Amino acid sequence: MNGAKLGVLALLASTAALCGFAASDSTPPSALAHGSGVAATAAAKVDNFMLVDADMEAHELYRLADAKAVVIVTQSNGDAAVRGLAPALKSLKAAYGAKGVEFMMLNSNLKDSREAIQAEAAKAGFDTPVLMDSNQLVGESLGVTRSAEVLVVDPKTWTVAYRGAIAGAGKALDALSAGQQVAVASGPPSKGAPIAFPARGATTISYSKDVAPILEAKCVACHEEGGIGPFAMTNYAMVKGFSPMIREVIRTDRMPPYHADPHVGKFSDDQRLSPDQVKTVVHWIEAGSPRGDGPDPLGAVKRVAKEWPLGKPDLLINVPAYTIPATGVVDYQRPAVASPLTEGKWVRAATVKPGSRQGVHHLLTGWMAEMPADGKSSETKWAASLGAGYAVGAESNMEPANAGVYLPPGGAIGFQAHYTPFGKEVVDKSQIALYFYDKPPELVMHSVVVVDNTIVIPPNEARHKEVAYVTFPHDALLYSAFPHAHYRAYSSDLWIRYPDGKEKLLLSLPRYDFNWQRSYTFAEPVKVPAGSKLIAHYVYDNSKRNPSNPDPNRQITWGEQSWEEMLFTSLSYRWTDETALHRVNYEPEMNASRLMGMLDDNIDGKIEKAELKGRIGDMLAKYWDVLDKNHDGVLDAGEFAAAQTMMGPRRRGAAEAPSAAPASPTAGAK
C-alpha cells in the first residue's frame, strides 16, 4: 500500500468485523469430493461457493436461498452439444425466470480463458452468466464429467433435485415452483464433451510437506497469537479443528482476504492462494484432513504477532484517548496534537496500531501548519500527509523504493477517527509509528480520490450502478488503488481511458468485502498519459439478498456512517516530471475537473440534466436555463466551469470536501 500527499478532505470507513472467517457450515465433506470415488446422485448436497462469471460479476450460491430453484448448466467452449442448448435454455428461462428460478452456466474446463468464454457465449447466443470454475472445485464437488449437463438445485435443502438432459428440467422446476418434491430425479445422461479434472483422484496429500508450508506462507501472518485472525494456527490439531470452516471460506473466496480477481492485472502485494495451493488445501480437507507422517511445521515454532512489524519506530505518536460507549452512534472525532518534529522528514513507512480493534473503524492523519486553538483538527486545514492511516484489515504502509511523502517541521498532527460501539464500553488508545528516510528520496508520492457524493441508490434494487472518474492533466505513474464503500457495495472496478479513447481494466473486485478493505498495489506502475481518465464503477446491492443490508426498503445516499454509502477509490501516484528537488503543483488543475467526474455518468465530457443528482445536482437544476448559455440541453466544459464559479462557497460543502485526497495509505476506507 502506498501513502500519499493530502489534498483537502479525507473520508474513510472501516469494517464491522475483525475477520472474514464466519461461523460456517460444519457438515462433513460432500460424498462427491476429491478422491471419494462415489458416483453423482440427484440427492447430493451442494455446498456453498462463490464464482465470478466471464463478465466479472460474482455469484454466491447461498445468496439465492429465496429462489424457487437454481439451474446450473455445465458448459465447455467449442462443444456443439452446449451450443445446441442455447434455444432451449432461453425458453426455460423465459418460462421460469419470472417464477423465481435462477439460471447459471458453469465452465470447469481448464483450457478455456475468460476472453474465450466471453467470445463463445456471444457466438452461441447465451443470455445466462457463465461462471468460471478456474480451480475446478465446484465442478468436482458436483460430480461433473461432461458439458451440456443440467442440474436443478433445491434451495430449501441445497441438494441436487434433478440431474440430466435439459428436456427433463421443466418437470423438476414445475414441482419446485409449486413447493412439491421432484418425482423424477434424473434424466438421460449428457451427450456433451468430457471435461477433465486432473486433480481428481490425485496422489495423497501430505500435511507436513504440502499443506503446512502453504499455511505458513499465506495464513499464519494473521493467524498467530495476538494476530488479527480469530484463531491461531499453532499446530495440526488447531488446523484440523477449523478445517470445515477453512474449506468454506476458500470456496467462497473470503480467505485469504485479497479480493482482486486473478483474471485482471498483477499485483505486488498479492496474497491469494495459487490455484494449486487452493486445490491442495481443499482436497486435503475433503480427504479428512489426515495427519500423516512427518513433523508439524506449525507446532515447531511459537509465533506471536509483533507490536511493530517494521521494527522500532523513528517517531511514535499517541492518538488522544477516547472512550467508546457501549451503544449508540459516535460522530467522527477530530483531535489534534502538537508535532514534535523540529526539522522536516521524509516518511518511508508507517504503521497504525488501533487500541481497540473492534471499536476503531478507521483513523486518518494529516499535518497542519498551526496547532488549532481549540485542539480540534479540521481536514480542510491538512496541508501535508503523514502517510499513515488505518482500516481493519489494513497493513503497514510502505512507500515505493526511493519515494516518499514530506512531513514539515512543527505545526500539528490532526486525526479523523471513526469509532463504532460494539456492546462494551472501552477506552481507545491508538498509536502511530512513523519511519523516516535517512536522506531525502528522489521521488514524491501523491494521492487523489475518485469520488461521487451524489449517489442515490433506490430501495430494493439488487444491482444499482454508479460511476465516477478523475482526469489526469499531466503524465503520471499509478502505483495503487484503494476501493471503498459500505454495507451495500456489491462490486467495484477501476479502468483507465486513454486520450485516444481506448480503455483497459486495471482492477476488478467482483465481490466487494466491507470486512476487508485494503490497497491493491500494481506489480508495475501503470503509465497514465496526460488527458487520461481513471474511471471507477461501483455496483450496490440494496436488496434483501444482501446479508449485510441494514434495510433494503430505504433509499440510500452518500453518508459518513456505515449504513449510508460511499463511492470512494483512492489512487496513489506520482507525476513523472517531479522530483524532491523539482516540485510541481498540478493538483489545482486536476481538482478543477473533479466535479465533472462526479456528475458525468456517460463520460462524454458534458453534463446532461438527467445526470443531476444529490445536493449539487439540485443546485445546478435550479439554474439550468441560465447555465446552459447556448441552450443545447447540456453543460459543456466551459459552461460547467462557469457554473462552478457561480456556485462558489456553496459548492465547497456539497462537493469539494469528500472529493479530496486522503492522508493515509488506506486512502478512504471507512
Domain ranges of the chain: 50-177
What tens digit of pLDDT does each residue of 597-640 get?
999 999 999 999 999 998 889 989 999 999 999 999 999 999 99
**In contact, 352 and 14? CB cutoff 8 Å:** no
SS3 649: helix
Other Cβ atoms closer than 10 A to 500: 8
Read off the pLDDT of each residue in 91-115 and give the average, rounded to a whole number: 96
**In contact, 296 and 208? CB cutoff 8 Å:** yes
**In contact, 564 and 555? CB cutoff 8 Å:** no
Q: What is the largest CA-CA distance in the chain?
A: 81
In the predicted structure, residue 660 carries a pLDDT above the cut 80? no
In the predicted structure, residue 266 carries a pLDDT above the cut 60? yes
Q: Mind giving me the DSSP string for 21-46? A: --S---PPPPTTSTT--PPP-TT-B-
In the predicted structure, residue 1 carries a pLDDT above the cut 80? no
Residue 412: the pLDDT is 97
Residue 189: the pLDDT is 85
**In contact, 616 and 598? CB cutoff 8 Å:** yes
Read off the pLDDT of each residue in 413-437 and give the average, rounded to a whole number: 96
| Lowest pLDDT segment from 8-17, 311-320, 338-347 | 8-17
C-alpha cell at 419: 469509532
Residue 37: the pLDDT is 32
Helices (H), 125-235: 137-141, 169-177, 212-218
Residue 199: the pLDDT is 86
Residue 94's contacts (CB-CB under 8 Å, 6 or more residues apart) are none
Residue 14: the pLDDT is 29
**In contact, 319 and 431? CB cutoff 8 Å:** yes
Chain-wide mean pLDDT for the chain? 89
Read off the pLDDT of each residue in 155-165 and give the average, rounded to a whole number: 95
Architecture of domain 50-177: 3-Layer(aba) Sandwich (3.40)
Read off the pLDDT of each residue in 282-293 and give the average, rounded to a whole number: 95
Residue 63: the pLDDT is 97
SS3 54: coil
Read off the pLDDT of each residue in 330-337 and give the average, rounded to a whole number: 96
Of residues 585 and 28, more confidence is placed in 585
Read off the pLDDT of each residue in 461-476 and give the average, rounded to a whole number: 98
Read off the pLDDT of each residue in 142-155 and give the average, rounded to a whole number: 96
**In contact, 416 and 379? CB cutoff 8 Å:** yes
Residue 648: the pLDDT is 64
In the predicted structure, residue 472 carries a pLDDT above the cut 90? yes
Of residues 73 and 669, more confidence is placed in 73
Residue 43: the pLDDT is 54
Read off the pLDDT of each residue in 186-196 and give the average, rounded to a whole number: 91
In the predicted structure, residue 394 carries a pLDDT above the cut 80? no
Instruction: Tell me which H or E stretch contains 570.
Output: strand 568-575
pLDDT band at 182 (very low <50, low <70, confident <90, very high): very high
Read off the pLDDT of each residue in 35-59 and give the average, rounded to a whole number: 76
Amino acid letter, 88: A
Residue 194: the pLDDT is 95
In the predicted structure, residue 11 carries a pLDDT above the cut 50? no
**In contact, 450 and 533? CB cutoff 8 Å:** no
In the predicted structure, residue 32 carries a pLDDT above the cut 60? no
| Lowest pLDDT segment from 50-59, 201-210, 361-370 | 201-210
Of residues 506 and 653, more confidence is placed in 506
Read off the pLDDT of each residue in 408-434 and give the average, rounded to a whole number: 96
C-alpha cell at 492: 467495484
Residue 649: the pLDDT is 52
In the predicted structure, residue 87 carries a pLDDT above the cut 90? yes
